[in-house]
């Protein structure tokens, strides 16, 4: 121990005698530690931190790919309902429309908020459970059903002060020049963000049968997410079907990374639909 103390005293004296070298050494160490910490934070966020979904390796994004085009795009509600009903590789498929803008009246003040319209099956597909309350049921998504809304953790904290009594509260919103009332049924956890980090709430689509008619099949304006059945991989899940009078071949491509912005990485594999 005495030799250690002696060496420490000698080292301290040497550093005091050479202040320029000491400052340079301290700054170098500080920069090195800071850079290492920053890199670890980035790597953890991009590669190591688990996504807030159950079994994320079985989640896929569904895209429409036209036969005479190299691009991919959104899907129609009519096609998505066919995929859900006629496929043998998905447990379920859900439609999502992001960046839906509503003027909500919160605490007596109108505020413009961005949220998501989705089929009721979205949260079971993601294996996402609410922090408080519940998620959607099929009854919430039927045409003419009373409006229900699930809040993000961020919106719950900033606008409602984290009050658990928010469940059951009614919010008035204006969209497309129509007034609507939504009852708060749940709040998601702090970690949950889907499909983007700026998604502040979720409501159901409540599509009428008109949205599913054959004439609407080319109306591609929605995103879709599906959960593969156990044992089915993205490369295996290739099948053919004939929705209405149109034959569609569903082909799964290579992995890609269109992730929720909050996670900075993707749990989804790319899936495309080719039409003749």
- Contacts for 73-76 with beta carbons within 8 Å, 24 or more apart? 73/220, 74/220, 74/221, 74/222, 74/223, 75/220, 75/222, 75/223, 75/224, 75/273, 76/216, 76/217, 76/218, 76/219, 76/220, 76/221, 76/222
152-162: average pLDDT: 95
Per-residue pLDDT tens digits for 30-42:
888 877 777 766 6
Alpha-carbon separation of residue 172 from 45, 103, 112, 175, 237 (angstroms): 36, 8, 12, 10, 43
What residues does each domain of the chain span? 2-48, 56-275
Q: Across 119-133, 166-180, 229-243, 262-276, which has the greatest mean pLDDT?
A: 119-133
Least confident piece of the model among 80-89, 135-144, 233-242? 233-242
205-210: average pLDDT: 90
**Mean pLDDT for the chain?**
77
> Looking at residue 16, what is its pLDDT?
77
Annotate 38-68 with b (16+ C-beta within 10 A) or e (fewer). eeeeeeeeeeeeebbbeebebbbbbbbbeee
> Looking at residue 11, what is its pLDDT?
66
Distance, in Å, from the CA atom of 81 to the CA atom of 212, rounded to the nearest integer, reads 8
Confidence of residue 241 (pLDDT cuts 50, 70, 90): very low
> Looking at residue 244, what is its pLDDT?
38
Distance, in Å, from the CA atom of 80 to the CA atom of 187, rounded to the nearest integer, reads 27
Q: Is the pLDDT of residue 252 over 50?
A: no
Q: Is the pLDDT of residue 26 over 80?
A: no
Q: Is the pLDDT of residue 188 over 80?
A: yes
> Looking at residue 68, what is its pLDDT?
63
- Cβ-in-10-Å burial (0-12, 13-18, 19+) of 73 comes to middle
pLDDT above 90 as % of the chain:
31
The residue among 134 and 180 whose pLDDT is bigger is: 134
Q: How many helices (H) and strands (E) does the chain have?
A: 5, 12
pTM above 0.75, yes or no: no
> Looking at residue 42, what is its pLDDT?
66
Per-residue pLDDT tens digits for 53-104:
888 888 888 887 766 666 678 888 888 888 888 878 889 989 999 988 888 8
Distance, in Å, from the CA atom of 3 to the CA atom of 115, rounded to the nearest integer, reads 66
Dihedrals phi, psi of 209, to nearest 5 degrees:
-60, -25
């Amino acid at each position: 121990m005495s030799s250690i103390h002696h060496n420490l005293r000698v080292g301290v004296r040497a550093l005091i005698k050479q202040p320029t070298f000491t400052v340079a050494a301290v700054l170098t160490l500080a920069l090195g530690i800071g850079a290492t910490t920053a890199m670890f934070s980035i790597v953890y966020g991009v590669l190591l931190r688990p996504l807030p979904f159950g079994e994320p390796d079985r989640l896929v994004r569904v895209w429409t790919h036209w036969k005479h085009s190299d691009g991919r795009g959104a899907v129609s509600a009519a096609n998505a309902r066919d995929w859900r009903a006629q496929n043998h590789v998905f447990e379920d498929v859900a439609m999502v429309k992001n960046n839906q803008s509503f003027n909500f009246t919160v605490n007596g003040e109108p505020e413009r908020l961005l949220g998501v319209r989705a089929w009721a099956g979205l949260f079971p597909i993601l294996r996402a459970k609410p922090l408080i309350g519940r998620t959607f049921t099929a009854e919430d998504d039927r045409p003419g059903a009373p409006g229900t809304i699930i809040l993000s953790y961020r919106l719950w904290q900033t606008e409602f002060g984290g009050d658990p009594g928010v469940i059951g509260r009614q919010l008035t919103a204006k969209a497309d020049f129509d007034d609507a009332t939504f009852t708060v049924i749940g709040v998601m956890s702090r970690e949950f963000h889907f499909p983007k980090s700026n998604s502040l709430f979720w409501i159901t689509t409540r599509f009428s049968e008109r949205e599913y008619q054959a004439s609407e099949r080319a109306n591609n304006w929605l995103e879709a997410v599906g959960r593969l059945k156990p044992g089915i991989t993205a490369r295996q899940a290739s099948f053919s079907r004939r929705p209405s009078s149109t034959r569609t071949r569903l082909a799964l491509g290579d992995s890609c990374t269109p992730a929720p912005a909050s996670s900075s990485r993707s749990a989804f594999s790319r899936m495309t639909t080719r039409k003749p």
